[in-house]
Amino acid sequence: MAHSKMSVTVPEDILNEIKKMAVSREKKVSHLVTEALTDIIKKFKEDAFVSQINRVFEDPEVTREHRKMADDIANNTNIEELPW
């Protein structure tokens, strides 16, 4: 993976905490910051995905179809035949 440098301005107390964490974990500050940014990006993507799913289910037609499908499955499934 290619790497690029960037300049970031952070409050001094945050920088000091990052440096302490890096030392205690025996990692470079850049690795620690990369891990943190990776986690933030992952969370943003997950939140966007959940929002997209929620928008789909806000559609009353989708909700009706979903309920109908669930009712059909429930009405046509003999629970005595299930392998539990």
pLDDT at 4: 94
Question: pLDDT tens digit string along 29-77?
Answer: 999 999 999 999 999 999 999 999 888 878 888 888 988 999 998 888 8
Instruction: Name the one residue in this structure whose structure tokens are 């290619």.
Output: 2
Instruction: Name the residue among 33, 45, 27, 46 with its Cα closest to residue 7.
Output: 33
pLDDT at res. 41: 98
Q: Which among 52, 69, 67 has a CA at the least distance from the CA of 77?
A: 69
